[in-house]
Structure 1
Amino acid sequence: FLLPVVEKLIAYNQETIKQQDRPVLSKDIQVVILSPSKNLSRQTYRVCSRLLSPLDYNMRCFLWGDAKMKDDVETFKRCTRGGGNILISHPEALKERLEYCKDNKGCSITFDKKHFTLIIDEADVVLRTKTRKLAELLVQLPEATSIGLYGATCTSSPETFDFIHEKMGDVVHLEEQDVKWDDNFDDRDLANGELPTPKTLVSAEMLQKICPRDGTKRCVMIRDAVNTQLNLSNRFMWVKADDRLSILVHLIKQHATKKHFIFFNTVESLAYVGAILEHMGDGAAGVLMGFNIYQVHGELKEHQKVSRFQNFIDDDHGVLLCTDSTIAFGIDIRNVDYVIHYDLPLQPRIYIHRVGRTARM
């Protein structure tokens, strides 16, 4: 979702140059990106910073909610006018900082009402778990000219459709016969030739039928797609409950040079298995010597979670024990080879998010 956001800001600057013979010079916020967690906000900020760094027009992105409230606001106040500002946060942190600025003189946070985009990443999670905070926040934001909802399980969430009906328009589900696909690239030289035309999802006739251009109806077209990556191999084992731990150790040792995610439903289950695995790695047991075991869950302090998470990212081969609330949604770690469900996920959508930690682009 960052690519179209940045493209819109570039187009905005280019249009301003044509009309006023200069790029945009503003401290207004053009884009707000909301995530369900600090981890995901940090990840989005890192990617956004890399995207903007080689570009013209002095476009910037800011991360709110990772530092102290006063520090976040002061960083934004010190910035100079530029070609666009992208604010990345989670609903509670952004709401608190906007209220802080409202109550403190000399702290002015303004939004570009004519070019304001709202992005909600892992939208079904935000809409389901941050309902009240999000509603209170949206009152403080201008009406968005563009809204984007992103997430692997958005279309299976009733909260998503409630939000779409309220903020965006009528939902139109596309049937298979409505959709045209152009996926045949076998005879094309993509490396040296022209890029193919983007896919045409809906014919002009069908589009006019389901969503007329006379302005009488706003439409959001949705087509449910395959939820897991095609290169993802899904396997399961029937085992006795008493054998789970020994089989887990066997799987880790069998793939000793790989990186593993191991998911648990509760902190208690994670801590129990984690203590045993760490004991197996010390000199007395020696069963898992040379394996680095990392535990990340919601009861750790923020700096502990960040440190362990980063150590796992930097490790060539490690084992990360985690719960769904801390890792499953949207976190992007490359070169993860295996996802193991020590505890079965309680809902299908949780399974989709868990297995999405591997087989990534």
Structure 2
Amino acid sequence: MKFEQYRISPEIKRSLEELGFKRPTDIQFKAIPSILKGDDVMAIAQTGTGKTAAFAIPVLHLLQQKHPKKTKGEVRCVVMVPTRELAIQIAEVFTQIAKYTKLNILGLFGGVDEGPQLKKLAQGVDVLIATPGRMFDLISRGFIDLSYTETLILDEADHMLDLGFIRDIRDVLKHMSRRHQTLFFSATIDKDIKDLAYSVVTNPIRIQISPEDPVSKNVQHAVAFVSMDDKRFFLERLVKEFPEGKILVFVRTKVRAERVQAAMARVEIPALVMHGGKEQENRLEAMEDFKTGKVKLLITTDVNARGIDIPNVDYVVNYDLPDVPENYVHRVGRTGRGVQKGQAVSFCSDEERPVLEEIQKYLGKEITVMKIDKNDYRETISFSEDIPNDNWQLLIDQHNAEMEKVKKKKKKK
């Protein structure tokens, strides 16, 4: 079924055509009809499968059909998200799809001047995409009226609930009318989070895509056993051997991110750094420079692990393994999005082996080990542009060849 066959407005169809949306992804195909009918929906799908459009398309259509007259501060749909970057990204998607409609979209988050946000709220807003902090501040000051809100969407909902935002979500529900639609979207969910989720939705339609494998099949995984102190040499080598590759590097802490950036600077590799300690303006600038390819190496904490859609990321490097196994899924989901292929390489030190075991247990399979002999390891430590060496390329090619063999064997069975 193509989008042109859906019973959605001509204006939205026009936008989708311009954006290159021809056929719905699995999550879109299953979620859109239920949302259009007004059902509460709990949807679990892999990252990179088009979850944002799965709720944006039908919600914008429903809002467009009703044409109510908005009053000062009135909001018709609220999308709650855990991070500023995600609020900005989702607001962009809604704005693109609503391009030919007369619907007003507003991304609301802290760290920036509230003046322009208040000015737009005063006109009434159809879709408000917000982080809890700034939204509750403006609700308490009387700038936001949720009494006529028809739809509440929780995106990256498991992360919001895990962070303790359940009280904030319930406070939002108190401000809304009893008759509203709640949509719950996430890439992962566990039993505790599921119980919390069911407390905020009413008889939801449950949709789960590829539950047996939380990671996209477009991503090739590998792990290299590397000493904690030697990781910077392996990152340097990877970057220099793939100079045109867009590489997203995840580290555990803000301090760690700064140190890795400094290590790259010492070997004349330009790198952006992004974490929660940076000013919002700096974070937005870094994200834009990485998205456009102005700088091809971005070092970040898990602030960018969830939901963020960065085009054409060739490699995700887990410089440090994540403390929480679920975050591995979200991190590697930044590559191999849509129909594109991606590589995920993890550096695992001896002290991180127990974490690797937990990640593999969560994935339900082992991650292929890149075999690095002692000579190759020593060469990496002394690696420089004066010593041409394509062993990393060889290792990755060998790894991918092994994975293709495994796939062929499975097909024969």
Q: TM-score, normalization: structure 2? A: 0.63
AA at the equivalent of 1:343: D
Partner secondary structure for residue 291 of structure 2? helix
Change (3 A) 1:111 1:220: same
Tell me the residue number matched to 2:263: 276
AA at the equivalent of 2:104: R
Tell me the residue number matched to 2:145: 109
Partner secondary structure for residue 237 of structure 1? strand
Tell me the residue number matched to 2:126: 85
Change (3 A) 1:219 1:312: closer
How many percent identity over aligned positions? 23
The Cα of 1:167 is off from its aligned counterpart by 2.2
Contact 1:13 1:24 in 2 (8 A): no
Tell me the residue number matched to 1:72: 117
The Cα of 1:78 is off from its aligned counterpart by 3.2
Change (3 A) 1:295 1:110: closer
2:54 pairs with 1:29: no
Cα distance in 1 between the residues matched to 2:292 and 2:151? 34
2:58 pairs with 1:41: no
Contact 2:316 2:331 in 1 (8 A): yes
The Cα of 1:234 is off from its aligned counterpart by 0.5
Cα displacement string for residues 292-321 of structure 1 (whole angstroms, at most 9, x for unaligned residues): 310111211111111112111112561100
2:307 pairs with 1:330: yes
Q: Which of structures 1 and 2 has the bigger CA Rg? A: 1
- Within the candidate set 176, 185, 188, 1:141 is matched to 176
Q: TM-score, normalization: structure 1? A: 0.71
Partner secondary structure for residue 357 of structure 1? coil
Contact 1:261 1:339 in 2 (8 A): yes
Tell me the residue number matched to 1:300: 278
Cα distance in 1 between the residues matched to 2:168 and 2:197? 18
Change (3 A) 1:317 1:272: closer
Unpaired segments ≥5 residues, structure 2: 1-51, 339-413
Tell me the residue number matched to 1:96: 137
Tell me the residue number matched to 1:312: 290
Tell me the residue number matched to 2:206: 221
AA at the equivalent of 1:44: I
Cα distance in 1 between the residues matched to 2:144 and 2:325? 44
Contact 2:155 2:186 in 1 (8 A): yes
Cα distance in 1 between the residues matched to 2:78 and 2:136? 12
Tell me the residue number matched to 2:253: 266
AA at the equivalent of 1:221: R
Partner secondary structure for residue 25 of structure 1? coil
Change (3 A) 1:219 1:294: closer
Change (3 A) 1:149 1:237: same
Tell me the residue number matched to 1:339: 316
Cα distance in 1 between the residues matched to 2:64 and 2:289? 40
Partner secondary structure for residue 220 of structure 2? coil
Change (3 A) 1:278 1:31: same
AA at the equivalent of 2:192: P
2:237 pairs with 1:250: yes
Unpaired segments ≥5 residues, structure 1: 17-22, 102-106, 170-217, 282-287
Change (3 A) 1:13 1:279: closer
Cα distance in 1 between the residues matched to 2:179 and 2:115? 26
Alignment length (residue pairs): 281
Tell me the residue number matched to 2:336: 359
Q: Which structure's relative contact order is higher, taking Cα pairs within 8 Å and 6+ residues apart? A: 2
Cα displacement string for residues 218-271 of structure 1 (whole angstroms, at most 9, x for unaligned residues): 355354352111111011112233432211111111111110011100122222
